[in-house]
Amino acid sequence: MRAAGALLGRRARLRWVHLILGGALLMPYWLLGTIVVAPFVDGAGMFSNSLAVQFGAYGVALPLAAVTALFPLARPMSVAVARTLCGVPAERFADGPARSRAARGRTAGWVTLHVGLGGLVSGASLALPPFAVTVMLLPFSGALREAATDAFGWLDQRWLVYGGVPAGLAMLVALAAAAAGAGALLARQAPLLLGPTPADKLAAAERRAAELAVRNRLARELHDSVGHALSAVTLQAGAARTVLDSDPAFVREALAAIEETTRRTVGELDAVLGLLRQGEDDGDLPGRPGLEALDALLTATGRHVSLTVRGGDMAGVPEPVSREAYRIVQEGLANAARHAAGERVAVALGRDGDALEITVENPLPARPPVARPGGGRGLRGVGERARLLGGTAAARPVDGVWRLTARLPLKGEAR
């Protein structure tokens, strides 16, 4: 049963179809080869049954097929067929056109092997079964036995009677075995010839690294935006609840700040989620705020936040620096709201030569804050943002206050 499955099972049948397809692909090249070879064979025409013409055309067809396989799109087409019919795991094939010389050479080798074996197996599949059936009918037809002995005088009538059926079955089994062997050979060679080259693996690794960097940046965007918004809303709601009866004006101001904060955050969240759906880089994310939105951020955070700007107007800050500076200040305010709610927070921005310096300070709480499950990523994200621009960032207690500092170069390319 195992041998029958290896010769006639589903995988073997699919590989046989793959070989027949290779023979069909060889036909145009083979016909062109007969035009080239026939004039050199005495008395043979294009459609001659001469073995010299047929095998000569076969020899001409293989190089022609190899040349056409050098085009980049030959690989994805070959991969699509082989992935379906060869019984090889899909992840072992390369994706995309063959760009490098090595990839095109491997593809040409695969196409030559495919159409070469396919042409032989296809020819045998067309010619051998009718002949095998005829041999199997010899014991039952005197006319066939006479025709066979006339064609082959050395054949013995007794051999034709007793050996016809076994000989015909042996031919069919040999054909199935040859097709199974050729299919197995193609399956073994497919990962080598259609698999990724070292250049393909390097390109795939670079794509994965770029995708991971994009995901990390999007994670920081969501953390900074949503995390700050929730912290600010919690702080404003708690303050409003405390003075609900004694200071209605402050309650209205707090509710307005909550409304503005949530509206802005929902807009940013929609933009980031839209980016995730599109699968694009977040460098040009529409709606990402910069330093121009800092006043609205401080207003939404509360009246206990002060801002100091020194060293000139912030309008000339490059857009990438402006966006990251906004996020750094936002994270500093969110960190202060979580760990020192109600305390004064001082934000300072200033130019120092060719760099933008950011400082966020708040008094240290009387008791160490309780660690949040899964927390601690915000300040790490501040450091990552600064390093992406070639700058530095630090956060530590200094003289009774918690100080977050960042220095972002205003010139040069981001890393």
pLDDT tens across the length of the chain (415 residues)? 677 777 888 899 999 999 999 999 999 999 998 888 877 776 555 566 778 888 888 999 999 999 999 998 899 999 999 988 988 888 889 888 888 888 999 999 999 999 999 999 999 999 999 999 988 888 888 787 777 776 666 566 667 677 888 989 999 999 999 999 999 999 999 999 999 888 888 877 887 787 777 777 777 767 776 776 777 777 778 777 887 878 888 888 888 888 777 777 766 676 666 666 554 444 445 457 888 888 888 877 766 788 888 877 777 788 888 888 988 988 888 888 777 767 888 999 998 888 999 999 998 876 655 444 444 566 777 888 888 888 999 988 988 899 999 999 987 544 4
Query: What are the extents of the domains in the chain?
Result: 2-196, 203-409
Amino acid, res. 263: R
Work out the number of other CB atoms within 10 angstroms of the CB of residue 359: 17
Range 203-409 classified under CATH 3.30.565.10? yes
pTM for the structure as a whole: 0.54
